Amino acid sequence: MTRLHSLLSLQALRLAGGFAVALALTAPVHAQIDTLKVMIGANPGGGFDQTGRTLGAAMIAAGAARNATFENKGGAGGTIGLAQFVNSEKGNGSALIVTGAVMVGAIETGKPPVTLKNATPIARLFADTMILVVPANSPVQTLKDLVDRLKANPGAVSWGGGSRGSVDHIMVGLIAKEVGVDPTKVNYVAFAGGGEAKSAILGGHVTVGVAGVSEFMADVESGRMRALGISSSFKLRNLQTFKEQGINVEIYNWRGVYGAPGITPEQRKTLIDAVVKGTEHASWKEALRKNDWGPFLLTGDDFGRYVEAESVRLGGILRDIGVAK
């Protein structure tokens, strides 16, 4: 009996061991993306490029991806890169494309055949808040001063910012509409780059400048420019928001990432989890702090619905200012 019990016990141990191995093989583990492929629909050095490369590095540092490759394909507000991404990456669960308010606006303006509806929403990442500035010697002291001038003579107030139809331009249109001024009467001056716009603002060639907070913050802190307000609903540094000053306008040059079309729910979840893990890494948080980017994380279908709502809102103001049809 003793020998029989011993044999039975040994067999039970073997069975238990085999069962444990089977469990280990089938238990879910946190998937790591082998090689993350990031499409950046803009030239090197800009906001989309900075977003994609910073996120890729953070995902690697966090262990969510082993490697990352980046491709820049600029033009048409990112929609040329989007078309290439959608056509070449179908079913690829390791591919991302950087997107944002700029691309949403470009889609509304240009009506390209390939849009974000052809890709898979993964995550909204951060909010790049917009700021209004004047040169330090400007007679315009406050946002109320600016609005009073705009109401009295819209054409006499010149706004210097990025390209026509950009988030800068959209924000100006929203402000005009909010205070009862016809957005088509806005005197918007588009500049090709931030340096050119900054020179025009400091030289007094435009009444007011529009950009992301990080672009002008050094000039505000040095006293060369004066901030009139920011476009966020949350506080940033010691800057007053538009809403605090009675102007109900909120807009961000937000950025996010979409996945390829045709990926499975499992692939999508892996991508979302990997991106979220990257945003939790210290290097990503430091990038937010350094660039005055506000955390703005929203994932999956909730992000997709946000983009749909932004498309309607931004498309509407682009038509109001005469940029989109």
Per-residue pLDDT tens over the stretch 170-215: 999 999 999 999 999 999 999 977 788 999 999 999 999 999 999 9
Q: In the predicted model, what is the mean pLDDT of residues 208-224?
A: 95
Whether 100 contacts 251, CB under 8 Å:
no
Average pLDDT of every residue of the chain:
91
pLDDT at residue 66, as a whole number: 98
Q: Which long-range contacts (CB under 8 A, 24 or more apart) does 234-240 make?
A: 234/294, 236/129, 236/292, 236/294, 237/213, 237/292, 239/131, 239/213, 240/143
Whether 290 contacts 70, CB under 8 Å:
no
pLDDT at residue 31, as a whole number: 72
pLDDT at residue 30, as a whole number: 57
Band of pLDDT at residue 24, cut at 50, 70 and 90? very low
pLDDT at residue 145, as a whole number: 98
Residues 130-153: tens digit of each pLDDT: 999 999 999 999 999 999 999 999
Using alpha carbons, select from 71, 129, 76, 70 the residue that is nearest to residue 102.
Answer: 76
The alpha carbon of 2 is separated from its chain's Cα centroid by a whole number of angstroms, namely 71
Instruction: List residues bridging with 225 in a β-sheet.
Output: 135
Domains and CATH numbers, the chain: 33-128+252-320 (3.40.190.150), 130-245 (3.40.190.10)
Using alpha carbons, select from 95, 119, 99 the residue that is nearest to residue 310.
Answer: 99
pTM: 0.87
Residues 48-105: tens digit of each pLDDT: 999 999 999 999 999 999 999 999 999 999 999 999 999 999 999 999 999 999 999 9
